[in-house]
Amino acid sequence: MTLALADPLAVAAPEPGRPRTIRVLGRVLPVSAVFDTYWRFAAERQAIYLRRLAGAPGPWTNDPVIRAHRFTNCYRATDRVSQYLIRRIIYRGDQTPDEVVFRILLFKVFNKIETWEALEGAFGVVTWRSFDADRYADVLARVVRENRTVYSAAYVMPNPPFGYLRKYRNHLALLEHMLRDGLVGKLQRSRSMDEAFRVLRGYPGLGDFLAFQYLIDINYSEVLDFSEMDFVVAGPGARSGLQKIFGPAAMGAEAYLIEHMVDHQERYVDDLGLSFEWLVGRPLQLIDCQNLFCEVDKYARVAHPEVSGGTSRHRIKQGYSKTSGKLDDPFFPPKWNARVRSLDTHV
């Protein structure tokens, strides 16, 4: 794997066994106890996913932190909202590039299944060619009047500066502006994931984190076909997790450190005597290890309260108590050549 922005000599090969330090960009970074927790968490979280997929009864783990709190899956594409997006929005409906990107961005701006279904309920088939921002805003206003939330709590969504009173109306204006500005053509002309990221990053209200997340979602479709091993942007939670493992010197080296974990995942898992089953023969990608840093940042608030990161948070907000329910068979982008039957789901 090669990261587009990385010098291949910038990250030193790991020492035998668990490393005490890692050298990145001329810096020697100490490795904390959270390093081992990162891989132990990843192995257990993936095992939980496979147990649920196989229909095993809960609870699916003896880890007290995971049993009590909500964490995302190791692989981003297996999470509930990503699965809904891939199965129900990207690959259902008109496959014209403008229509696919419109559906993806409309869904992701709110990132909430119930919001999408409210729009579908009002308009039937949601399409770019029939899009009317004022009519869509009227539906969202009704959702708000019913004391329902329009936005997911997963992301902090800045209010784009389009001059409307309601944030959701500004987001609809942003979406319309992006499509009319030729976003899809600009993305398809991009020669790298980094270049496509910069196209998205150039729109108001989209910071580094959101632009990268949207790019990953668009890349699930047939509109783009970049490798998830090409480029990564660390979000705020991941940056905090990186600092909990590698200290303050991780700042500015986040992409290289994520690349390091991806490149040496088999070695580190084996050194700890862990078992980690890849998803349909697909090792953890850059986006997955980025997400794991965010999840381990949360996990470490309880498991390693003495280790500080980039935030002052000391507890995990979202609890979890579910102990039953088989997961639906996953659906992945057909270009991955992934089939559920190739999953080796041991209980």
- Complete DSSP assignment for 270-336: HHTT---PPBTTB---HHHHHHHHHHHHHHHHHH-TT---SS---S---B------PPPPP---GGG
pLDDT at 80: 94
Per-residue pLDDT at 5 exceeds 60: no
Cβ(236)–Cβ(310) under 8 Å? yes
pLDDT at 313: 61
> Over the stretch 82-106, which tens digit does the pLDDT of each residue have?
999 999 999 999 999 999 999 999 9
The set of long-range contacts for 108-114, using a CB threshold of 8 Å and a minimum separation of 24, is: 108/213, 108/214, 108/217, 109/157, 109/171, 109/174, 109/175, 110/150, 110/151, 110/152, 110/168, 110/171, 111/81, 111/151, 111/152, 111/154, 111/155, 112/149, 112/150, 112/151, 112/152, 113/81, 113/84, 114/148
Per-residue pLDDT at 342 exceeds 50: no
pLDDT at 25: 87
pLDDT at 153: 86
Q: What percent of the chain has pLDDT over 90?
A: 78
pLDDT at 326: 78
The pTM of this model reads: 0.89
Q: Give Cβ neighbours of residue 169 (< 8 Å, ≥ 6 apart).
A: 133, 137, 140, 162
Highest mean pLDDT among 5-14, 186-195, 313-322: 186-195
Per-residue pLDDT at 12 exceeds 80: no
pLDDT at 4: 38
Mean pLDDT in residue range 60-76: 94
Burial class (CB in 10 A: 0-12, 13-18, 19+), 285: buried
Per-residue pLDDT at 346 exceeds 70: no
Mean pLDDT in residue range 104-110: 98
Q: In sequence order, which ranges of 146-251 are alpha helices (DSSP H)?
A: 167-180, 183-189, 193-201, 208-219, 236-246
Mean pLDDT of the chain: 89
pLDDT at 6: 36
Per-residue pLDDT at 343 exceeds 70: no
Q: Domain map of the chain by residue range?
A: 21-72+232-342, 92-219
Residue with the bigger pLDDT between 215 and 321: it is 215
> Over the stretch 257-267, which tens digit does the pLDDT of each residue have?
999 999 999 99
pLDDT at 9: 32
pLDDT at 324: 63
Cβ(89)–Cβ(119) under 8 Å? no
* pLDDT tier, 341 (very low <50, low <70, confident <90, very high otherwise): very low
